[in-house]
Structure formats: C-alpha cells, structure tokens
Amino acid sequence: MADQSEEQPQDSESRPDGDTSTGDVGSAPRPRDTRDLGTALAWTAGATAIPGLGHLRAGHRVLGSVILGTFLTCVGLATVMLMLFGDEIASSSRMFLQTDWLLGLAAATALGAVLWIATVIHSYLLLRPRGTRPGLRVLAVGVVTLLCLVVATPAAGVLHISYTAYATMSNVFAEDDEERPHDASDPWDGRDRISVLLMGNDGHPQRQGEIGTRIDSMMVANIDVEHGDVILIGLPRNLEDIPFPPGTALDERYPDGYDQLLLDIYQTVQEEPQGLAIDPTADDPAADTVRETVSHALNLDIDYYAMIDMRGFRDIVDAIGGVQIRITEPIPWGHQGDVLEEGMQTLTGQEALWYVRSRIGSDDYTRMGRQGCLVQAIAEQADPWTVLTSFQELARATEVTLGTDIPQSKLRHFVDVAELVPDGRMRTLQLSPPQVDPPRPNWIEIRSMVSNAVQEQEAAQAGPSGTDAADAPAEDEERNTADAPDTQEQETEPATGEEQRTDWQEWSGSDEPEPQDPGRQAGAQPSPLDELCP
C-alpha cells in the first residue's frame, strides 16, 4: 500500500497567481482553469486601465516598466495642459481651428489607440493559462474584445470630432492666399479695424427660369481688433443706384448705377460670372463681387464676406441651445397664426428665424433693427464653452449653410477678436429711412456717415476712460450736420408757432419723436445697441 503521506504530483503548468493548492479533501474542487482564467482576465482589465501592469505581473519587468512609464508621462503632460488651459476654453477651442493641429491630433490618437489595444491583447496572451477549455477560451476572447472596445470608443470619438472639424475647415473656409502670406505675429497687417460683410440668403428654391441666390439681409460688421468694439452697418436690401467700382464690367454695363435692387446683385453676377464678376477665379465670384461693390459704395475696406442660408441659420441657433432676447411687442410668425409673445424669451432656431424675418405689421427696416439685436444677443451668449460642447452640431450646420472667403489661417485670430466683443461696445448705423432714402440714396452722404461713425468710435477709445461716443463733446457730434439734419434741433425749434416735426415723424407719420421698434435708429449717428435693444 502506498504511503499516503507521499507528496501528490504537481501540475507542471505555472500559474500567474502561484497557487498550487488542490482544494480540501472531500470537497468538489473548483476547476483550476476557470480560477486561473479569472485571474488572468482581472490582470488584463488592470492593464487596460493602467498599461504595463499585465507585463509586470507576467515577469516582463523591462517592457512593463517602459509601457507604464510612457503611460504615466502622458498622463502627467495631460494634467499639466489641463491645469494651464482648463480655464482658457477659448484658447482650447483655437486648436480645432487649425488643420495641421487637427491632423496631428488624429494621427496621435490613432497611434495611441492601436498601441494601447496591442498592450491589452499582449497582456492577456502573457497571462492566459494553458489548457483552458474551449468554451472558456471563447468567453475570454469576448472579454478581451470588450476591453479593447473600452479603449477604442473614446479614441473613435476623438477621431470623429477631428475629422468633422477638418472637413468643416476645408469645405467652408478658404485656402490661404499665396499672394498675401499670413503673418501670425501681425494677422491684420497692422490695421486696427477689419470689416466683414454678413449676408443672409433667403434659402428658397429659385423660381422657374432663375438661377442664383437672392440676398435677404445684409450688414457690415466693422470690428476694432484691439478693443472688440463693433459698428454694425445695416444695408437695406432695396437700396438702389448702387455704384460699381470703376473699370469693372458691371460699371461699364451700369455707368449710372445699378438699375435693380441691392439684393439682386448676387444673382446678376451668378448668371454671368465670367463676364461680370470682378474676380471670376474666386471661390464664389458673385459673393466676392458683392463684397467689392459694397466696399466701394461705402468707401470702407471690407476684408471678407460670410453668407449664410437663413433657413440653415435656425440649425446654428438650435446647436447653441437657443438665444435669449426680450420682445417688446408680440411678433406674428409662421403660417399657422403663431405669435412670439412679449417678454424675455429663449428662442429656438425656427423662432429666431422668424424674429429676424417677420414683416407682418412692420417693414424691412424694422426687421433690420431686430437683426442687429439678435447679432448682439448671439455675440454675448455664444461663449466658447457652448461652442465646444455643441461642436459637432455647429460644424454640421455650418458646413451646409455657410460660405465665406475667410482663410483658415485667420480663424484662430477671429476667435481672439470674438473673445473681446462681449466686453466691447456694439453700435448700429442703419442706412435706412429717415437717414437714407433707399430709392434715391445720396452716396456722398452715406460715405460720410460711415466714416464719421468709425471715427467717433475711435475717438471714444482714445478719450478719457469710460467715455462713449454718445458722451462726446457737442462739437464732435456736429460733424454730421453737413450730411443730415440734426433731429434734436428740429424737435426744439418752433416753426410757425408749432413744434417742428423730426425727420422720423415726417417719414413715419408717427407722433412719436423716435422709433419704438427694437434696434431702429432715428438719426444719422450710430446708436448703441444696448439702448436700442431692450
């Protein structure tokens, strides 16, 4: 009879946990491959969270140390960057506006994900027990696959965001102009102010026999790049007799001024881009020609244009979670008798679209004023954090609705300027009645109004701290008297025993000395939007 004290044979397979016990005598032992497999998968999960742990457990100390050290270094760098830029959301958002950075981010993310997944798989291969039953091997493969997906999913999200941003930058914004190289240290070529022509097209399919796009709204944003002050110059779409730059094909065809409305210029050029466009090689010759034409008509350098489909505009407003604005009187909207009620309202994209387009009970000029109010509201409320958290929705909406000649290299500098705008002063100069007669505009007076508006804002910045153009000395305000009547004098000077009516009263037929509509301007001087917009 064999000696019962003789040592039992040992399993020649070594297990990572070093456990060689066979279980208590008389009890049904747990299958050893199940126990060892659970341990191996547990360490593999640990290696998924902290790469290198699985290799160290398996005895590969050098490789495990390298992997773990690399991982900890990356975590450290990420922590430092978060501490440095965590509070600078605008600075972080600039990264999404540089195609080279986006490509680098995508490449680094893809490489990192592949190496991380390879580390997870290799950790399991080193730790797995031999002789595991087929059913358990299938289960193990499923668990490891799930662990790999844990790594791959966030990496795929980063790649998708990077691709979305890259596609948007490439499809919407212009390539850099080789004839005008970009200097990052002086992005505005030494200028204190830049101007962007903002156009909104009606978004409607053209009628049979028509091509092109009709411009529904138009304004020029003249921006001080140092202080963030803005003058919004509103252009009525029914302006007539627009002068074209001398020597252009349009000037030769219309030597006495354009015989149609301002809104028709885009479509006229789009019908004959090679024959009428100022620069037929531009990405959008018609939009480029409108920009050059407005620049000449106002005698104001307009650097870029941005045109948005007004129906797509609603998607952009929805992407930032709506816009809050105060409505002073109910505004009819929609085709079902809906009304935007008075009071402080958070407008959806569709409601915001009707806010800036509705003419029921009002006119083109009233809605021009509301457009200025909405621009101000969006500029104040669309903070960089909102842009980042809604990035993909904004990118999709922007790609299908926005056309611009702003080059990609300027985008991060526009973010810098946009960061200043909420703290700057925003004023509106509307080239609408009574200060301008759209069917018979006096372009000499219009150019003087625009020039004076810019000079007054510049003078306010150079004056005592806190001085605004509205508080400037009377002699500065009188610079416009040669171009337009002084409404204040007309209000106080008696005429034939009666108080003389203002230009606004004569034009509107109202007894009110000033317009009551939001954003409407009464005199020839630019007005603060904070005062005009309730």
Q: Where are the beta strands (DSSP E) in 176-214?
A: 193-201
How far, in Å, CA of 298 to CA of 277, rounded? 19
Tell me what pLDDT residue 6 has: 42
Tell me what pLDDT residue 272 has: 93
Report DSSP state, residue 30: P
Higher pLDDT, 476 or 295: 295
User: Confidence band (pLDDT; 50, 70, 90) for 87?
Assistant: low
Position 471 pLDDT exceeds 60: no
User: Confidence band (pLDDT; 50, 70, 90) for 466?
Assistant: very low
Residue 390's SS3 state is coil
Q: What percent of the chain has pLDDT over 90?
A: 41
Residue written as tokens 């939001």? 518
Which domains does the chain carry?
32-172 (no CATH), 193-471+487-532 (3.40.630.190)
C-alpha angle 34/120/112, rounded to 5°? 170
Position 29 pLDDT exceeds 50: no
Higher pLDDT, 149 or 363: 149
Tell me what pLDDT residue 316 has: 86
End-to-end CA distance of the chain: 105
Residues 212-264: pLDDT tens digits? 577 888 999 999 999 999 999 999 999 999 999 999 999 999 999 899 999 99
How far, in Å, CA of 343 to CA of 136, rounded? 66
Collect contacts of 42-47 with beta carbons under 8 A, ≥24 apart.
43/16, 43/123, 43/127, 44/120, 44/123, 44/124, 44/127, 44/143, 44/144, 44/147, 45/147, 47/119, 47/120, 47/123
Higher pLDDT, 407 or 90: 407
User: Confidence band (pLDDT; 50, 70, 90) for 463?
Assistant: low
Residues 116-145: pLDDT tens digits? 999 999 999 999 988 778 888 899 999 999
With contact defined as beta carbons under 8 Å apart, do 533 and 519 qualify? yes
Answer whether the bond into residue 384 is a cis peptide, omega within 30°: no
Tell me what pLDDT residue 219 has: 94
Report DSSP state, residue 50: S
b/e map 398-419, b = 16+ CB within 10 Å? bbebbbbbbebbbbbbbbebbb
Do the bridges between strand 426-430 and strand 343-347 make them parallel or antiparallel, or are there none, so unpaired? unpaired
Alpha carbon 403 to chain centroid distance?
13
Tell me what pLDDT residue 179 has: 63
